[in-house]
Amino acid sequence: MAATVASGLQMATVRPCISSSHMVVKAGAAILGTDFKGASGSKLTSACHIPSIQPIWRSFTSSVKPSKIVTEAMSESSECRTVSGLPIDLRGKRAFIAGVADDNGYGWAIAKSLAAAGAEILVGTWVPALNIFETSLRRGKFDESRVLPDGSLMEITKVYPLDAVYDNPEDVPEDVKTNKRYAGSSNWTVQQAAESVKQDFGSIDILVHSLANGPEVIKPLLETSRKGYLAALSASSYSYVSLLQNFIPIMNPGGSSISLTYIASERIIPGYGGGMSSAKAALESDTRVLAFEAGRKHKIRVNTISAGPLRSRAAKAIGFIDTMIEYSIANAPLQKELSADEVGNTAAFLVSPLASAITGAVIYVDNGLNAMGVGVDSPIFKDLNIPTGKH
């Protein structure tokens, strides 16, 4: 039976063409479009070539495999045409994304969506991974992943070394300072990174926290050490507090910040241990408090995205990510594998003026799995004739 969702906000807009003064063409106004019946979203097309108004949401049939939600963007160099839809326009905005070290995680996807909407991209990369990341960028290994809707490549203006476990140089223990993995890098504590960005660019508009680490994540909570538990909280939740503390002074009023959380903060996920579930719960609680404080004092919005399972390099370290993805497909209301782009597009919306009244919120991007109270793939439900989509 087809479930139909009414078309969302639609607005015909006209964007003047602007000749790029930069060496690299950057993406401009972005539009979120969903087409569950159309071609695969893996190939992104320019919004300047959209023949008709595209609603934010279209109907879908449970027996049809939904395609990916994609961000469609208008390049500054595109031909002047009327663009249909509701634009996400981040031109003139600058984003700092903490926690990008490869091209297949949520941090990278968020960077791409923000770039497609016109934002300038700065990233903070974990120091031990910095050399490999920068080398891969320079040698073009990420070029396929950098392609934006208009065909240009996402440009990362600058990559900063960052270890968000340390707030300032005084916090860094001697064994870390002398560790060869940190050799050759400097100014990588949170305080120093913020100071470097201020010196280089003056200010930012968007701050993204896309990092987490639990050294004992594979251990049950009853077997987790105090050191492991506190390390998970330090890297995965307090690091966000620290980022905001140090970057808010250089954020323009009206700016926005987002982080990434997980349903384990409020539901039991066996195997996601080592204090990581506690760290995500703390992150969500902190999001509400930070939204109040940052909103009242600095006019900054603070939200977090609860993303479903993704087959990223970091997630593979847990050891059962494939099982979690299969479970999600079998039990979520939308029976499809979540794509990183869907989280990236949500982030682009949340940091845009379209979400100007949203702060202190946990936004679920998990195909609806968070709404389920039971796993419907259980044999006890075999006689209920529960609809099952092909995937």
As to burial, measured by CB atoms within 10 angstroms (0-12 exposed, 13-18 middle, 19+ buried), residue 31 is: buried
Pair of tokens at residue 173: 């223990």
Q: How confident is the model at residue 82 (pLDDT cuts 50, 70, 90)?
A: low
Note whether 164 and 279 are within 8 A (CB).
no
In this structure, of 72-76, 96-100, 194-198, 222-226, the range with the lowest mean pLDDT score is 72-76
386 has a pLDDT exceeding 90: no
Q: What does the pLDDT look like over 169-210, one tens digit per residue?
A: 999 999 999 999 999 999 999 999 999 999 999 999 999 999
How confident is the model at residue 390, as a pLDDT?
60
Mean of the pLDDT values across residues 87-105? 96
72 within some domain: no
Residues paired with 301 in a beta bridge:
256
Share of the chain above pLDDT 90, in %: 68
How confident is the model at residue 66, as a pLDDT?
39
248 within some domain: yes
Roughly what angle, to the nearest 10 degrees, separates helices 276-298 and 239-247? 20
What's the start-to-end Cα distance of the chain, in Å?
16
79 within some domain: no
167 has a pLDDT exceeding 60: yes
Mean of the pLDDT values across residues 49-67? 35
Residues paired with 120 in a beta bridge:
94
40 within some domain: no
Note whether 350 and 358 are within 8 A (CB).
yes
Q: What does the pLDDT look like over 106-117, one tens digit per residue?
A: 999 999 999 999
333 within some domain: yes
DSSP character string of 326-377: HHHHHHSSS-S---HHHHHHHHHHHTSGGGTT--S-EEEESTTGGG-SS-TT
Note whether 306 and 262 are within 8 A (CB).
yes
357 within some domain: yes
Of residues 194, 176, 173, 174, the one with CA closest to residue 185 = 176
Looking at per-residue pLDDT, the higher value among 279 and 29 belongs to 279
How confident is the model at residue 57, as a pLDDT?
34
How confident is the model at residue 24, as a pLDDT?
37
* The model's pTM: 0.79
What does the alpha-carbon distance between residue 67 and residue 40 come to, in Å, rounded to a whole number? 5
Note whether 93 and 119 are within 8 A (CB).
yes
Residues designated as active site: 237, 280
382 within some domain: no
Cβ neighbours around 313 below 10 Å, total: 11
Roughly what angle, to the nearest 10 degrees, separates helices 239-247 and 190-201? 30
Cβ neighbours around 95 below 10 Å, total: 27
Q: How many domains does one find in the chain?
A: 1
359 within some domain: yes
How confident is the model at residue 70, as a pLDDT?
46
* Rounded (to 5) percent helix, strand, coil in the chain: 35, 20, 45
Q: Domain containing 300 — which CATH number?
A: 3.40.50.720
Note whether 107 and 156 are within 8 A (CB).
no
How confident is the model at residue 320, as a pLDDT?
79
Measure Cα distances from 185 to 108, 131, 235, 361 in Å: 22, 10, 20, 36
Domain carrying residue 158? 94-370
What does the alpha-carbon distance between residue 382 and residue 316 come to, in Å, rounded to a whole number? 31
